[in-house]
Structure 1
């Protein structure tokens, strides 16, 4: 079955759909025994900030918001210190991919892979070659998406979510 799938910048009227996607992802993580996103982050305020900063992007499938990601250009404070490894370079002009989530209505269709490909292509066309992302050590589905898109694990970063669950595996991709 052919589906019309594309990525675009998120708009304020996408907020309800985005929050629903984030909440469904939070529940999915909890059901998988992963304590990522279990303390209220990200929330509607986080998403509104993404939208105001023009950092929010949505995956559209057949006219419906099916996925969300925040793409932040420039140095990510939580990435300045990396443990048990190192970044491939000392650049600070990279793009960090955060809050990547897909609606449960579209799971199992390899759409997260397509979303990641769209992100990489879009930003590569804007001369970005350095991409970084992190995920929870137990989040195997996201690790597969990250690895399958060419990212390599570089070490550990710590994300402030208020618990000892703050350890995240850090990945990087340099396009040439």
Structure 2
């Protein structure tokens, strides 16, 4: 394990983390806007979203030297928006859903989101779940590149919050 990887820790978010997570999400919302993306430009996610993630044990943070540098919601429940897809999922069994991946401004461009996804894969396999499903806006180029690099396969479109979104799945072996 490299020195860089040793400093990271992926853990469930706690209510005490909520303010920092919200700051990171606000930074990510701003970056999406600066990139010309329409994703997250309508009041979602918001502080209540984060609080609900944490209370439902969906919220996870990636820390570096005790500082939160990234966030993701990792959901073990069925995602209702994924029940109807214009296309076809790779599998029909149990899966984990990933939503709200965000990286702090100071850590942006350092591979943090990629590291988060790799940690989520470890969480999934530790729970005997071998499928991860995720969606993103058609104009979220950084996330589309990460999903491609990590081997996620495009499966079609789902509708989430009244918008068409690109849907991806990765099967873990």
Smaller-chain TM-score bracket: over 0.9
What does residue 64 of structure 1 align with?
A: 67
Confirm or deny: 8 A CA contact 1:11 1:51 kept in the other structure. Answer: yes
- Write the mapping of 1:117-136 to structure 2, written as runs, cut at 5 A: 117-136=118-137
- Write the mapping of 1:97-112 to structure 2, written as runs, cut at 5 A: 97-112=98-113
Shift in Å at residue 24 of structure 1? 0.7
What does residue 174 of structure 1 align with?
A: 171
Confirm or deny: 8 A CA contact 1:134 1:170 kept in the other structure. Answer: yes
What does residue 15 of structure 1 align with?
A: 18
- Write the mapping of 1:114-153 to structure 2, written as runs, cut at 5 A: 114-153=115-154
Shift in Å at residue 95 of structure 1? 0.5
Confirm or deny: 8 A CA contact 1:6 1:118 kept in the other structure. Answer: no
SS of equivalent residue, structure 2 residue 135? strand
What do you get for the CA RMSD once the two structures are aligned?
A: 1.3
How many residue pairs match? The answer is: 170
Q: How many angstroms apart in 2 are the aligned matches of 1:76 and 1:102?
A: 23
1:36-90 deviation line (CA, Å, top 9, x unaligned):
111111100000000000110001011100000001112100111111x111122
Q: How many angstroms apart in 2 are the aligned matches of 1:2 and 1:60?
A: 14
Q: Which residue, out of 30, 34, 49, partners 1:46?
A: 49
Q: How many angstroms apart in 2 are the aligned matches of 1:123 and 1:89?
A: 15
What does residue 94 of structure 1 align with?
A: 95
Unpaired runs of 5+ in structure 1? none
Confirm or deny: 8 A CA contact 2:22 2:46 kept in the other structure. Answer: yes
- Mapped pair 1:113 → 2:111: no
